[in-house]
Amino acid sequence: MELETAFRAQFGAPLGESLGPILGKLELDARAAWSEISVRADRLGTHLAALVKDEADPLAALTRLHAGDVYLTIACADGDAGALVAIERVYLAGVRSPLSRMGLSASQIDETLQVMRDELFVRRPTAPPRILNYGGRGHLGGWLRAVAARTGLRMFAHRERQDELDDRVQRGQASDDLELAYMKRTYGEAFQRAFRTALDGIDEDDRLLLKQRYRHAMTVEELGSLHAVHAGTISRRVAAARERLVARTRDAMIKELSINRDDVSSILRLIHSELDISLGTIPGRRP
């Protein structure tokens, strides 16, 4: 009961009788995955509520969480020695290969991992450890690989990208898209998930308008005639709908990847570069 009581305490409205069985299954799965680790039921309930509190359907969102991964991150944030050993063995060991493919040396990888540990597991004066930013919607391993890639990029890749750019300038092949290409490789799948989440969340009118403009390739003049408004008016409506979709996609990516303020501008470049392509594939409203 402590689990359910702690969860319900975070909500002002009733959540229905199905909450108990959903939470019970999540707790059972989580404790089975990490039987050697202990997290208090009320601690688990409070954190699970925080992860889904802003969702339109919190109970449905609960069923989609990776319970074992969430459970492990709570234990790590609480300083559980077994949890910290487990996350090192099961997950952090797997980020070395992606960092190596980025061109980092063994010593740079070691330094990147140490910075990650400090940033993820050390409690800050006014905030909990950043490992709790993991949202539970994708696998923890993928989330940690994204964090490692961003950390390595922040620490070491800037100079290497600049060296490559200088070389291209000397050869007459200057380009400002080196970081964008990296972002596409690293965050392409996360963008697609965020885009679909954002698309499902926008108004039906926005969705229809974007579908007509991008998938059906209608001109603003054709859209203006269809909607009985001036082409300039429909152009502004399309632009506003697109920006709302960009904002929702950005927020979804920030939520999944725990992107910090310094990375948002790079993520926005990725979204703007990929959005029009993805808009061309908008399906009908899902049932």
Cβ pair 36, 68 in contact under 8 A: no
What are the C-alpha distances in Å from 118 to residues 105, 147, 271? 20, 13, 29
- In angstroms, the CA 254 to CA 150 distance is 13
In this prediction the pTM is 0.61
| pLDDT interval class at 284 (50, 70, 90) | low
Q: Of 185, 64, 188, nearest to 135 (Cα)? A: 64
Average pLDDT, the chain: 84
pLDDT of residue 287: 37
Task: Name which residue leads in pLDDT, 166 or 57.
Answer: 57
Where is average pLDDT lowest: 152-161, 172-181, 186-195?
Answer: 172-181
**Domain boundaries 176-279, corresponding CATH code:** 1.10.10.10
Domain map (residue ranges) of the chain: 2-155, 176-279
69 compared with 177, residue with greater pLDDT: 69
What value does the mean pLDDT take over residues 37-52? 94
Query: What is residue 285's predicted lDDT score, i.e. its pLDDT?
Result: 46
**Reduced to 3 states, what is the DSSP secondary structure of residue 134?**
coil
> For residue 177, what pLDDT is reported?
53
Cα–Cα dist 262/266, whole Å: 8
Q: How confident is the model at residue 169 (pLDDT cuts 50, 70, 90)?
A: very low
pLDDT at 13: 73
Hey, what are 6's tokens?
A: 């702690």
Nearest-Å Rg of the Cα atoms of the chain is: 22
